[in-house]
Amino acid sequence: MTKNNNIKKLSEECQNYAELNGFHLNPDKKIAEQLIKSLTEREKKYGERYCPCRRIKGNKKADEKNICPCVFHKKEIKKQGHCRCFLFVK
């Protein structure tokens, strides 16, 4: 699968995830694509789709909470109207 196909597939996955959970993918297509590209790069580098806005410390167990969608995103969306990296919005 090509890099663009990976990004397209992940974009669709994120869009479906957002819809199922009552929020949206960032409507700014450029920002959303940039964040999704970052997720694919982190997956290639670290073996997981770590959120681009979270620091990875190298401890797999401790970093687990930072895999996108991270454990913080729903609370952030509820409080701020978006997750920290702006991939998901109200």
Instruction: Report how far residue 61's alpha carbon sits from residue 79's, in angstroms, rounded to the nearest whole number.
Output: 27
- Taking the domains of the chain in order of start, what are their residue ranges? 3-89
Write the CATH number of the domain with boundaries 3-89.
3.90.460.10
User: Could you read off the pLDDT of 13-22 as tens digits, one per residue?
Assistant: 999 999 999 9
Q: What is d(CA 82, CA 59) in angstroms, rounded to the nearest whole number?
A: 27
Exposed e or buried b per residue across 26-38, where buried means at least 16 C-beta atoms within 10 angstroms of its C-beta: beeeeebeebbbb
Question: pTM of this prediction?
Answer: 0.88
Residues 37-80 pLDDT 10s? 999 999 999 999 999 999 999 999 999 999 999 999 999 999 99
